[in-house]
Amino acid sequence: AVFKAVHHSVPPSLSGRRPTKISVVGAGHVGMAIAQTILTQDLADVLALVDANPDKLRGEMLDLQHAAAFLPRTTILSSVDFSSTTGSDLCIVTAGARQIPGESRLNLIHRNVELFQKIIPTVAAKSPECILMIVSNPVDVLTFVAWKLSGFPPNRVIGSGTNLDSSRFRFLIADHLQVNAQDVQAYIIGEHGDSSVALWSSISVGGVALLSCLEKEEINYEKETLEKIHKAVVDSAYEVIDLKGYTSWAIGYSAASLARALLRDQRRIHPVSVMAKGMYGISGEVFLSLPAQLGRGGVLGVTNVHLTEEEAQRLRGSAETILEVQSHLEI
């Protein structure tokens, strides 16, 4: 034996802790960025990876396992058949067909809905108590699809939504003002995509309301300048994809921040894709991003953030865009 026994039994206070298990479905660029962020941030005792490509999957698992000496202790498992995911606390779905040149967005949706029809019922059956986090695009529609296919209550199904867009927004504002992005409170809500809504009216930096501060100090700002920053957020994914072919690091950190809020019951507010029916005059069953409080029970509530009439109208427009796409689906 490597060690001489000191205690013959594990104290009950230690043996009682249930390990935290996270599964990541889809071991592509995004899935692996999420997996590695989860590992470095010590968010799970067990991490299960799933992918349809067995060689890539085993290669990724081994590559991460070989970092064990530099990381907090985490058991890393993998399986193509989802068997390794049994009993997960959180299942993060990043599997997704990629758009091929000339392919319509709607067509991509149909392919990913077909994929979800295979994946989601199995994931839900293996981990009936888990929280489902959808990352695959188009994320809002696929979160709705996952909610339908899983049979889970809506508080246990979220889409990574505009948590990432809001981080890009905070970065751009922080860069502009030369402050730390963590001191900038700013939300992008609505669709994770072209119809997203920037909540200019509620931006604050270190507790100072940005727009009213600019107005009070009679600093001229053009609406166009604000719109340009929002446009830069919307365009940033396209820019990164044009330059490096895919996005990965920021969505990795974004999803890990959500995992921490959920599994550690942090009760932090994140803009994520949640069931929005009944909010701000939205009447359809649609998932889109709103600032939501996240904890061990999933979505604990949605903050009653004040929207100007223009912002509320844009949000309803964003809901209409998603509902239009959903109306073409057969699930």
Q: Which residues bind ligand 6V0 (CB under 6 A)?
A: 25-31, 50-53, 94-96, 98, 115, 118-119, 135-137, 139, 160, 164, 192, 246-247, 251
Using the minimum distance from each CB to ligand 6V0, give the nearer residue, 50 or 259.
Answer: 50
Q: How far is the CB of 318 from ligand 6V0 (least distance, A)?
A: 15
Using the minimum distance from each CB to ligand 6V0, give the nearer residue, 210 or 291.
Answer: 291
Q: How far is the CB of 246 from ligand 6V0 (least distance, A)?
A: 4
Q: How far is the CB of 74 from ligand 6V0 (least distance, A)?
A: 21
Catalytic status, residue 66: no
> 287-295 and 157-159: which strand pairing?
unpaired
Cα–Cα dist 256/155, whole Å: 18
Using the minimum distance from each CB to ligand 6V0, give the nearer residue, 81 or 265.
Answer: 81
Q: How far is the CB of 143 from ligand 6V0 (least distance, A)?
A: 10
Using the minimum distance from each CB to ligand 6V0, give the nearer residue, 137 or 202.
Answer: 137
Using the minimum distance from each CB to ligand 6V0, give the nearer residue, 37 or 136.
Answer: 136
| Count of C-beta atoms within a 10 Å radius of residue 113 | 18
| Both tokens assigned to 24 | 């990541």
Q: Which of 66, 110, 192, 328 is catalytic?
A: 192
Buried b (16+ CB within 10 A) or exposed e, 284-322: eebbbbbbbebbeebbbebeebebeeebbebbbebbebb
**Which residue number is nearest to ligand 6V0 in terms of Cβ?**
28
> 131-134 and 157-159: which strand pairing?
parallel
Q: How far is the CB of 15 from ligand 6V0 (least distance, A)?
A: 34
| Both tokens assigned to 188 | 């992008």
Q: Strands, DSSP E only, in the chain?
A: 21-25, 46-50, 75-79, 90-93, 131-134, 157-159, 184-185, 188-189, 197-198, 204-205, 208-209, 268-275, 287-295, 298-302
> 46-50 and 21-25: which strand pairing?
parallel
Asked if residues 273 and 161 have their Cβ atoms less than 8 Å apart, the reply is yes
Catalytic residues: 192
